[in-house]
Structure formats: C-alpha cells, structure tokens
A = this chain, B = another copy of it.
C-alpha cells in the first residue's frame, strides 16, 4: 500500500510549486486527484513521478502539449503500434537534436572555464564557436 500525500508534500517532492500543480490539474495534464472529506487533494507516489517527469521535461524545453503527447503514450493504449512508433520516433529525433546542441555548448563552456581558470582573459567568441556558420 502506497502512502498518500497532501499537495504541499507533492510540491516539495516533485519540486513543482503548489499553484502550478493546481494549474496542471486545470489544464488536464494531471488527473483530478481524490479528495478528503473536506475537499483537500490526495496524491500518491505515482503522482510524484509523473509530476517530476513533467517538471524535468519543461526544463528541457518541451511544451506542455509535447509533454502531454509523451504522457499519452503511457496513459492509455488507444494508439496503434504505428502511431506510437511515429510519435516516439519524432520525440526521439527532437531529443537527439537537443543533446547535440547542448554538447556543443558544453564544450565551449568547459573551454571557457578552463581558460578563465588559468587567469587568461577570454574575449570569448562564444556564439561563433557554438553556432557560427
């Protein structure tokens, strides 16, 4: 049996603040939770996972719509195999591009830290190095 938790604890554990949780519920990205007698929301461990997932995805530049589309793969099997494959492949493509851009940025930033560490003053043509022609 999983321990149930109030909204405040869910907020703390998932690092999403309370008003955002209620906002996600209104948007339908989080299911309507069970309530206590007095009307307070009750969550469980699965909600912590789902919400953490949403939170991280947002931090990675996915829109709520994209996240919904990812979550829909989990939520119900109302998709044909082909649809799942298409949706998933497209997200995977997107993720690969993000990774590649971040890798470039990482190497430039690391190089900058390195140079700064040596007391070198960088005039840093960072944009050039990252995304230059």
Q: Are B81 and A121 in contact (CB under 8 A)?
A: yes
Task: Name the one of B53, B59, B99, B125 contacting A127, with C-beta atoms under 8 angstroms.
Answer: B53
- Chain A count of residues within 8 A CB distance of the other chain: 51
A12 interface hit (Cβ, 8 Å) = no
Could you say which of B82, B102, B116, B126 contacts A99, with CB atoms under 8 Å apart?
B102
A92 → chain B closest CB, angstroms: 4
Q: Is A73 an interface residue (CB 8 A)?
A: yes
- The contact sample of 24 A-B pairs, CB cut-off 8 A, is A49-B132, A49-B133, A52-B131, A59-B61, A59-B98, A60-B98, A60-B102, A71-B127, A74-B124, A77-B123, A81-B120, A81-B121, A84-B112, A84-B116, A84-B122, A84-B124, A85-B112, A88-B116, A89-B109, A89-B113, A91-B109, A92-B110, A98-B98, A99-B103
